Amino acid sequence: MSAQAVQLDELIDRYPAKPEYLIFLLQDIQAAYGYISPEAMDRVCDHAGVPKSRAYSVATFYQSFSLKPKGEHKIRVCMGTACHLKGAQRLADAVERKLGIKPDETSPDLKFSLEAVHCLGACAMAPVVVVDDEYHAGATPGKLDKLLDNVARD
């Protein structure tokens, strides 16, 4: 049994084997692994006595859950109106060219994930990019290129 399987068992065993603990189990697995793998979902369903269809409907309803592995660094490009007018698409295109990933994808080395979000609520900073929860105002493809180089080195 792998160390990851042991840790998954430890997470699952923290909760009683009841359906009402489904979301807590999924939250803990999301926090520990960064996503919910099919194997983890199977184990949760077996433990909580929840049909897979119900568990997947919960996991896909809440945006905080992911069924795909996410990168170590999360890049969010705001595509809201103000950012769109000031070049947000050029920023998303620049990330796509540099990292070879499209929005909602993760680089093969699991270093970066790219998201194009509807609005980050920072219109005065447009165009804005958030990398690892840090806002970068007035972003340009050149600034973003340097920023991603720095993040990759850390």
The answer to the question of residue 23 being in a domain is yes
Is 70 exceeded by the pLDDT of residue 3?
no
The answer to the question of residue 99 being in a domain is yes
Q: Give me the chain's average pLDDT, please.
A: 93
The tally of domains found in the chain comes to: 2
Q: What is the CATH number of the domain that holds 111?
A: 3.40.30.10
Q: Which domain holds residue 146?
A: 73-152
3 state SS for the chain:
CCHHHHHHHHHHHCCCCCHHHHHHHHHHHHHHHCCCCHHHHHHHHHHHCCCHHHHHHHHHHCCCCCCCCCCCEEEEEECCHHHHHCCHHHHHHHHHHHHCCCCCEECCCCCEEEEEECCCCCHHHCCCEEECCEEECCCCHHHHHHHHHHHHHC
Q: How does residue 15 score in pLDDT terms, banded at 50, 70 and 90?
A: very high
User: For 113-129, how does the pLDDT look when each residue is reduced to its tens digit (9 = 90+)?
Assistant: 999 999 999 999 999 99
Residues 52 and 79 reside in one and the same domain: no
Going by the annotation, the residues of the binding site for [2Fe-2S] cluster are 78, 83, 119, 123
What number is the average pLDDT over the span 83-95? 96
Residues 40 and 84 reside in one and the same domain: no
Residues 148 and 78 reside in one and the same domain: yes
Residues 79 and 147 reside in one and the same domain: yes
Is the pTM above the cut of 0.85? no
The answer to the question of residue 53 being in a domain is yes
Residues 57 and 77 reside in one and the same domain: no
Q: Are the beta carbons of 68 and 106 closer than 8 angstroms?
A: yes
The answer to the question of residue 67 being in a domain is no
How many other C-beta atoms lie within 10 A of the C-beta of residue 68? Answer: 12
Going by the annotation, the residues of the binding site are 78, 83, 119, 123
Closest to 144 measured CA to CA, from 108, 104, 90? 90
